[in-house]
Amino acid sequence: MSVDGYLARLGVSGRPAPTLETLVDLHHRHLDAVPYDNLSIMLAAPTSADPAETLVRIAAGGNAGYCFHHNGAVELVLRGLGFDVERRPGSMLAEVGSSGLLDHLVLVVSGLPTPSNPDGRWWPDLGFGDAFRDPLPLREGVHRQGSFVYRIARLTDRGWTFLHDPAGSFSGAVVGRPGVAQSDVDANHARLSTPPDGHFTRLLVVQRRDQSGAETVRGIQHFRTGAGAFRRDLRSYDDWRAVLLGLGVSLTGVDDDALRALHRRMALRHDDWLALDG
């Protein structure tokens, strides 16, 4: 029932066949309908990373969350539709290399060969926020999507390295061997979403990747990469709230005072950053 509700939210009637065309279509529709966000964490009410709970929440019109949520829920949908799916661990790249921690949940879909991708393995990813619009063929080399350039390097059965477009919000990720236990996802979700050190507890981030670019709210900064690039600060609470809604964030059940307090906190953090940068 949650799979059907999810498909209905994406505007899909019935259950489509497990084809490459379906995978691409769902990838596009999900990105259009369900933004990447850490709002619940920033409001000190983090949701669990349980895929079934996330799928129910998405089907009901609510927010998903970040990578563990998006890709965990989509894995259930793809399996429910008959796709061959495997889980792999991802570790985000930093300036000095990978942390080696489980920071990202990677899905690989197999059994969909094409002339340009005869191995038939594809990498759908709804949890990167501002990365690829289409599932990537899991083949080493450069992959171009519009003005964005991605690279898959050192691809072996053990994993690979992903390098994001230079305009992206992160450098890339190292992907490991198949197999990720949900208990490991849950433990690392707690690490990432628990203050004061949790990565997702510091700054509000909302992102949506569309056909020609990516739009982001980071704190009170609102900017776009790709076609129609811009950057501005959302000093007005009403403007900030309107942009969140415009990106598809659900504010149903969110206390307005708590949301206003979050905006003030993000504005103060932005001013502190400006002072340090200056």
- For the chain, domains (ranges, CATH) are 190-277 (3.30.2140.10)
Better-predicted residue by pLDDT, 172 or 94: 172
Q: 98: which 2 tokens?
A: 């990978």
Tell me how many degrees the CA angle 94-99-100 measures, rounded to the nearest 5.
140
Q: Assign 97 a pLDDT band (cuts: 50, 70, 90).
A: low
pLDDT at residue 1 is higher than 90? no
Residue with the two structure tokens 């080493």 = 140
Q: What would the pLDDT profile of 224-269 be if each residue is shown by its tens digit?
A: 999 999 999 999 999 999 999 999 999 999 999 999 999 999 999 9
Q: Assign 273 a pLDDT band (cuts: 50, 70, 90).
A: confident
pLDDT at residue 137 is higher than 90? yes
In a 10 Å sphere around its CB, with 0-12 CB exposed, 13-18 middle and 19+ buried, how is residue 103 labelled? buried
Provide the total of helices (H) and of strands (E) in the chain, helices listed first.
8, 14
Q: What would the pLDDT profile of 171-212 be if each residue is shown by its tens digit?
A: 999 999 999 999 999 999 999 999 999 999 999 999 999 999
Q: How far apart are the C-alpha atoms of 5 and 62, rounded to whole Å?
A: 12
pLDDT at residue 278 is higher than 90? no
pLDDT at residue 96 is higher than 60? no
Overall average pLDDT of the 131-155 stretch? 97
Q: What is the pTM of this model?
A: 0.96
pLDDT at residue 100 is higher than 90? no
Beta strand segments in the chain, E: 36-37, 84-94, 97-98, 104-110, 122-123, 136-137, 141-145, 148-156, 159-163, 172-175, 205-209, 213-218, 221-226, 230-233
Q: What is the per-residue pLDDT for 94? A: 79
Closest by Cα among 88, 134, 81, 80 to 108: 88
Q: 182: which 2 tokens?
A: 């949900």
Q: What is the per-residue pLDDT for 98? A: 66
> Which SS3 state, helix, strand or coil, does residue 97 take?
strand
Q: What would the pLDDT profile of 54-83 be if each residue is shown by its tens digit?
A: 999 999 999 999 999 999 999 999 999 999
pLDDT at residue 214 is higher than 60? yes
